[in-house]
Structure 1
């Protein structure tokens, strides 16, 4: 009898649905809408009561959709499902890496492929950078799909440790395909793409890179390197630039050349 959408009404209604689901041994999907911040609207008590919370994400300008589990009471949330919206409906994307890299330009400066982890699934993504001299007193910086502050930090590392005068240049960094990436393993790819665009030096297209970059310019280790390298090998990449620590811990890697680097200066020398 309480007001529509109140905490007590949501809690009691969900409890009735839960009792029905367990009594009849059926699955019940409760569909809610999402706020501008990307969270489920209404009281959070709903998310605490249910067994699983699934987010169906996607950009209106992109054809792909991602089904992501953010809570699973009886299993892991480290898996995602990638789907493509076609005329006949939602079709599962069997190989997300190949889908994300389709249409990649050949021998273009400022383009590098990185391997990110979506849960336990490695996904290859293309990072693009465009660096050009600014026409204003304050250079313009744009980051699409990446953390803006992280891009600024890595550009400061490049300026200090590699003596690049980036303070007089505009920089636009983008992840092709419209996906968002917040993993530190993309740091090395961002650094290489910015350097490549600044020098107008194309990176070999069969090269993939991943690693976290510290403020001293050092390249640090990341998680699950074997899975990342296997994914790159599966898609035909020939060279993989990784942190030196990762290279030391790896066994035999037939079919792909793995190059370990300790500093971004060594990574730049490789390309």
Structure 2
């Protein structure tokens, strides 16, 4: 293909752990490795690049399946927030990154007393192990008694949040539902939560703030405004 300057596309599938099926040498031979994510229950399809010899890696394109096939979603933030009710208990808006592209997404939490001996933790679009850690931090440093509470997390639109910047949004949504207090209207929440209850800065801060203000979210709740989760919980 290189001698004739012809682009060749190989289509395969990935295994359950997310790696390419087949011999590993195939991944080293090609110039670009791309993967499309999404299923029939999700609104968007996300095209990611994990290897690119001619450009930046881990960039992402966001598409939507229509009657004309896959079409580019130029403003995913507006679509993901469409129909959202403001001042809802357990609802938080965060700004996520797909590669270097920021977009706003809603994080929902529901906390309710469990009828069983062991509380249930369920997360859709968020890592369950990370949720368990955030709940433990809330219990120890936020003084919230969640030992007899079921906790459910949902990331609206079928989006999957894996970056540490989503920690603070998930934690705040859980606290909002438990305390039955809505978060501030038109507020964006992002930041990493440490095991000692401290809030840590994340990357792409300028891009996150710019995208938030473009859509009218003027209040930013991040590690710059609060240093520990105790300070944040007092402001709810």
TM-score range with shorter-chain normalisation? over 0.9
1:267 aligns with 2:232: yes
Q: Is the 8 A contact 1:157 1:215 kept in 2?
A: yes
Q: State the 1:67 CA deviation.
A: 0.9
Distance in structure 1 (CA, Å) of the matches to 2:82 and 2:187: 16
TM-score by length of 1: 0.84
1:160-239, aligned counterparts within 5 Å?
Answer: 160-239=140-219
Distance (Å, rounded) in 2 between the aligned partners of 1:69 and 1:219: 30
User: Helix, strand or coil for the counterpart of 2:210?
Assistant: helix
Cα separation, 2, equivalents of 1:47 and 1:58: 22
Task: Tell me which residue corresponds to 1:63.
Answer: 43
Structure 2 CA distance for aligned equivalents of residues 26 and 161 of structure 1: 59
Equivalent-residue separation in structure 2 for 1:84 and 1:125 (angstroms): 16
Long gaps (5+) in structure 2: none
Give the distance between the partners of 1:270 and 1:206, measured in 2 at CA. 15
What is the Cα-based RMSD across aligned positions, in Å?
1.3
For the Cα contact (< 8 Å) 2:51–2:58, is it kept in 1? no
TM-score by length of structure 2 reads 0.96
Equivalent residues in 2 for 1:14-163, closer than 5 Å: 21-163=1-143
Q: Is the contact made by 1:112 and 1:205 (CA closer than 8 Å) also made in structure 2?
A: no
* Contact 1:212 1:220 (C-alpha < 8 Å) held by counterparts: yes
Determine the C-alpha separation between the residues in 2 that align with 1:95 and 1:89: 18
1:131-178 superposed Cα distances (whole Å, 9 cap, x missing partner): 000101101111111111111111111111121110010000111111
Q: Which has the larger radius of gyration?
A: 1
Q: Is the 8 A contact 2:109 2:177 kept in 1?
A: yes
Greater RCO (CA < 8 Å, at least 6 residues apart): 2
Write the distance in 2 (CA, Å) between the matches of 1:185 and 1:42. Answer: 34
Contact 2:33 2:50 (8 Å CA) reproduced: yes
Structure 1's unaligned 5+ residue stretches are 1-20, 245-259
